[in-house]
Amino acid sequence: MKGIVEERAIELGSYIVEHQATVRAAAKQFGVSKSTVHMDVSERLRRLHPQLYGQVRRVLDVNKSERHIRGGMATREKYRCEDEI
């Protein structure tokens, strides 16, 4: 069981870096919870593969800094769709 968790952490990290994915997108892709993704990439990956962890951390930091923009765009789109109805 332990090997599976470690492999998943590395696969999640690689996916996030390759696709510039958010934690939510990675969770959906792998069929796990956001908490699991966060635990895998923040704790397990740091121990297993420090170089990949650094790359993942940079992607997640960019995503975090842009999340207020994405939220505003989603709200704008929501009300734009309601106006068209």
Q: In angstroms, what is the C-alpha Rg of the chain?
A: 15
CA atoms within 13 A on the CB side of 16: 30
pLDDT for residue 14: 96
Residue with tokens 């994405």: 70
- Chain mean pLDDT for the chain: 89
> Does position 68 have pLDDT exceeding 80, yes or no?
no
Rounded Cα distance, 51 and 70, in Å:
28
Q: How many domains does the chain have?
A: 1
Model pLDDT for residues 14-27, shown as the tens digit of each residue: 999 999 999 999 99
Q: Enter the pTM of the model.
A: 0.78
- Give the domain range for residue 18: 2-84
pLDDT at 84: 66
C-beta of residue 21 within 8 angstroms of C-beta of residue 15:
yes
Question: What pLDDT, in 10s, does the model give residues 24-46?
Answer: 999 999 999 999 999 999 999 99
